[in-house]
A = this chain, B = another copy of it.
Amino acid sequence: MEDSVPRSSVSMFAGLVGASQVLGLLAVVLTGVWMGHYRGGFAWDGSAMEFNLHPLCMVLGLIFLQGDAILVYRVFRNETKRNVKLLHGIIHLLTLIISIIGIVAVFDFHRATKIPDMYSMHSWCGMATLVLFCLQWVMGLLFFLFPVASLWLRAMYLPIHVFCGLTLLVMAIGTSLLGITEKLLFSIMPTYSKFAPEGVLANVLGILLVLFGALVCYLITREEYRRPPNPEEESLSVHFKTLTEDGSPTTP
């Protein structure tokens, strides 16, 4: 992004992206430590150890990877739009696969231990987030990667796609915080209020997730970090759309 913005803005951008990656990775590691060290580790056998895969997959997939899939439009803002779109779609596909494993793990655990499904706000918000995420991914694929919609329709849908993407990331983070609170109250209710180390670790994890989400939203919504308009790319996308399958009407 050196071409179009001042050097101080570039340093600030790099610093904020770096900070987001540190926060996101730390959140994934803390989830692993919480489930691995305090909750007995991981397995695929219907036990609580299978449940433990659920938080890990959701934080890794629907939060860290989804956040990074969104950020590629800012980090690789001087690469060709086609390549960035492909990367955006592929990371989201990976997000989807990991999240589905996480969802299967918790339903499997519930079935094995006879716990009812879908009664809590965490489950309602989580299911809504996953269903809307799938819808958003398919719509994005149809509108932007294999553009079957008209340029006018794509231009109209683009800001909605961006808004919904950030909303889904925020919903995923909110849902995780609900999950963390549920898990703590189910597991350590008597010691949680005495600042048990497990409770403090899980609370810190929640704060890291909030900071990660706030940073990604800030980086995406700041005007100066947006992808600069490329008239050549736009013109190609208008006149040779079927040949290039590359252009989109405005800057995401």
Interface residues of A (CB under 8 A from B): 115-116, 119-122, 124-125, 128, 159, 163, 167, 170-171, 173-174, 177-178, 180-182, 184-186, 189, 192-195, 199, 202-203, 206-207, 210, 214, 217-218, 221-223
Contact = CB atoms under 8 A, between A and B. Distances in A.
Nearest to A214: B167
> How many protomers of this protein does the assembly include?
2
Contact of A182 (B115, B173, B185, B203): B185
Contact of A221 (B120, B170, B195, B221): B221
B163 A221 contact: yes
A202 B195 CA distance: 27
Nearest to A200: B119
**What's the dominant secondary structure at chain A's contact region?**
helix
Contacts of A174: 173-174, 177, 210
A171 B210 contact: yes
A55 to B, nearest CB: 14
A121 B206 contact: yes
Contacts of A223: 159
A221 to B, nearest CB: 6
A121 B202 CA distance: 8
Contact of A159 (B173, B178, B222): B222
A109 to B, nearest CB: 14
